[in-house]
């Protein structure tokens, strides 16, 4: 099977040699090819370049060939969403109303709402029901341009339900054309029955959950909600160390609620990413400089919860890379729309259209460990792509924040047809 996209007005995110990440000033730079073609064989990009360089006879003799004329349209690599909780049951619009009436996220959590509310709903759902609900969300985000996604457990909070969530993630991985990376987040909240004995819950995570998750190969990453009112620095360290012993790589929630020290702990354990960071300043920036940890912002949840914005500008101007992700979850970000995340990056975080593009492609690919196969248009990478509608300019894409500007989606070299999938 082969795919030729020709007459592309501009092909964005091209790389002759994949750079890994974009940091500092380079975040404002995107390589592109005007009047371009892109050729994919099976699921892989095998060549791209200017139309005048399209080799004659490149497609001669190919029987299973699809040709798309992308005149007037842009082509992007598909978005990588490096932080989500997409597997959950039901929804929490009652808490949405509670928040409108003045309750804070922490107050709702203390009353047994929040994460614990989702844990109850998840407990009541069968694996099959969870799978079906989650697949609806997968289809929704695929249509919005996401081609790769990290999904966390963390609404189980007991061994059986955590494994149930991770098995659902595996089932999704086996049955959809998106790239999926699973993360174990047993340390998302302390369940009610352990409220006065949190130590026992941490022991359960370390001595039972992690070994089981690892023995079934159900996760690549280990996450901890390291923040005020959730898990302390010491607890986080113990849980990360236990996970690392089993080959799980840290990727943590930090500094959403307070200056928790989570960023420093993440850096200390060489986390792939530290995410949220609404409460960050000079100390967090100095910890990140010189590290290989990707600071990741989740502007959808900052917007939804009315949190302060993280210092994105200061981080980029200090030379750091940054990634953006959706945090798709029922409590703090009931949206997996990465185009909206780009717009919020521009509007709230004062990032330029070029910076948000790099933050949702190459840098978010790094933040989920898939930079060798996703995140840019590069020979040998997976042909998961977005073909835009006819729009006046590149900047129009994040500017028109409420419009769906996707014309067609290509996933693994194939035109994605939502009616069939
Ligand atoms: O990333 N901050 C912790 N966890 C999620 C929220 C989960 C929930 O409220 O259900 C987040 O915002
Ligand atoms: Fe999250």
Q: Taking the domains of the chain in order of start, what are their residue ranges?
A: 2-77+376-420, 79-368
| Mean pLDDT of the region 97-126 | 91
pLDDT at 304: 95
Q: How confident is the model at residue 223 (pLDDT cuts 50, 70, 90)?
A: very high
| Residue whose CA lies nearest to ligand 1 atom number 1 | 327
pLDDT at 295: 98
Q: How confident is the model at residue 57 (pLDDT cuts 50, 70, 90)?
A: confident
Residue 279 CA, chain-centre distance (Å), reads 20
Single out the residue of 58, 69, 63 nearest to residue 9, CA to CA.
Answer: 69
- Classify domain 2-77+376-420 at the CATH topology level: Urease, subunit C; domain 1 (2.30.40)
115 lines ligand 1 (CB under 6 A): yes
Other residues' Cβ atoms within 10 Å of the Cβ of residue 175: 12
Q: How confident is the model at residue 260 (pLDDT cuts 50, 70, 90)?
A: confident
pLDDT at 110: 81
Query: Two tokens at 12?
Result: 């964005």
Map residue 7 onto helix, strand or coil.
Answer: strand
Ion ligand 2 residues within 5 Å by Cβ:
327
| Residue whose CA lies nearest to ligand 1 atom number 3 | 225
pTM equals 0.97
pLDDT at 361: 98
334 lines ligand 1 (CB under 6 A): no
For 319-328, how does the pLDDT look when each residue is reduced to its tens digit (9 = 90+)? 999 999 999 9
311 lines ligand 1 (CB under 6 A): no
Other residues' Cβ atoms within 10 Å of the Cβ of residue 69: 11
Distance in angstroms (rounded) separating the CA atoms of residues 132 and 152: 17
| Mean pLDDT of the region 269-297 | 97
Residue 107 CA, chain-centre distance (Å), reads 27
CA-to-CA separations, 395 to 162, 342, 356, in angstroms, rounded:
41, 11, 10
- Answer whether CATH 3.30.390.50 is correct for domain 79-368: no
Best of 94, 115, 155 to mutate for ligand 1, by most ligand atoms within 8 A of CB? Answer: 115
Single out the residue of 247, 244, 246 nearest to residue 268, CA to CA.
Answer: 244
Averaged confidence pLDDT in the chain: 96
Q: How confident is the model at residue 20 (pLDDT cuts 50, 70, 90)?
A: confident
154 lines ligand 1 (CB under 6 A): no
| Residue whose CA lies nearest to ligand 1 atom number 9 | 331
Single out the residue of 400, 321, 310 nearest to residue 353, CA to CA.
Answer: 400
Specify the residue for token string 């909240």: 189
pLDDT at 111: 81
Query: Two tokens at 219?
Result: 């996760």
Nearest atom of ligand 1 to the alpha carbon of 275: 1
95 lines ligand 1 (CB under 6 A): no
For 124-183, how does the pLDDT look when each residue is reduced to its tens digit (9 = 90+)? 999 999 999 999 999 999 999 999 999 999 999 999 999 999 999 999 999 999 999 999
Share of the chain above pLDDT 70, in %: 100
User: What are the start-end ranges of the H helices in 105-158?
Assistant: 105-110, 115-124, 127-143
142 lines ligand 1 (CB under 6 A): no
227 lines ligand 1 (CB under 6 A): no
Ligand nearest to the CA of 334: 1
Q: For residues 57 and 343, which has the higher predicted lDDT (pLDDT)? A: 343
Distance in angstroms (rounded) separating the CA atoms of residues 261 and 255: 7
| Residue whose CA lies nearest to ligand 1 atom number 8 | 331
């Amino acid at each position: 099977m082969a795919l030729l996209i020709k007459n592309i007005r501009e092909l964005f995110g091209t790389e002759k040699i994949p750079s890994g990440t974009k940091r500092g000033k380079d975040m404002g730079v995107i390589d592109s090819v005007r009047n371009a073609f892109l050729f994919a064989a099976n699921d892989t990009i095998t060549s791209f370049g200017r139309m005048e360089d399209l080799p004659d006879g490149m497609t001669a003799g190919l029987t299973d060939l699809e040709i798309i004329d992308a005149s007037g349209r842009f082509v992007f690599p598909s978005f990588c969403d490096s932080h989500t909780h997409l597997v959950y049951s039901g929804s929490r619009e009652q808490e949405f109303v509670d928040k409108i009436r003045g309750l804070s996220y922490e107050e709702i959590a203390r009353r047994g709402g929040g994460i614990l509310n989702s844990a109850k709903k998840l407990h009541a759902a069968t694996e099959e029901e969870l799978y079906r609900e989650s697949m609806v969300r997968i289809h929704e985000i695929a249509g919005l341009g996401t081609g790769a996604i990290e999904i966390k457990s963390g609404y189980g909070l007991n061994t059986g339900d955590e494994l149930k969530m991770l098995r659902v993630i595996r089932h999704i991985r086996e049955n959809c054309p998106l790239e999926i990376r699973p993360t174990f987040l047993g340390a998302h909240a302390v369940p009610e029955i352990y409220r006065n004995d949190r130590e026992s819950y941490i022991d359960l995570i370390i001595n039972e959950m992690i070994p089981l998750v690892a023995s079934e190969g159900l996760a690549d990453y280990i996450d901890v909600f390291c923040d005020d009112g959730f898990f302390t620095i010491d607890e986080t360290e113990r849980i990360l160390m236990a996970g690392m012993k089993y080959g799980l790589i840290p990727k943590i929630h930090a500094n959403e609620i307070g200056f928790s020290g989570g960023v420093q702990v993440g850096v200390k354990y060489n986390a792939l990413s530290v995410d949220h960071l609404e409460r960050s300043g000079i100390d967090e920036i100095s910890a990140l400089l010189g590290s290989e940890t990707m600071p990741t912002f989740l502007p959808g949840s900052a917007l939804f919860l009315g949190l302060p914005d993280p210092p994105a500008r200061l981080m980029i101007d200090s030379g750091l890379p940054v990634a953006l992700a959706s945090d798709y979850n029922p409590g703090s970000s009931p949206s997996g729309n990465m185009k909206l995340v780009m717009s919020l990056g521009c509007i709230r975080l004062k990032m330029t259209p070029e910076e948000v593009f790099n933050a949702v492609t190459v840098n978010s690919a790094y933040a989920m460990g898939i930079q060798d196969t996703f995140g840019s248009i590069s020979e040998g990478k997976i042909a998961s792509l977005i073909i835009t509608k006819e729009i006046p300019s590149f900047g129009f894409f994040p500017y028109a924040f409420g419009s769906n500007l996707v014309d067609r989606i290509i996933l693994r070299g194939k035109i994605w047809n939502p009616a069939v999938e």
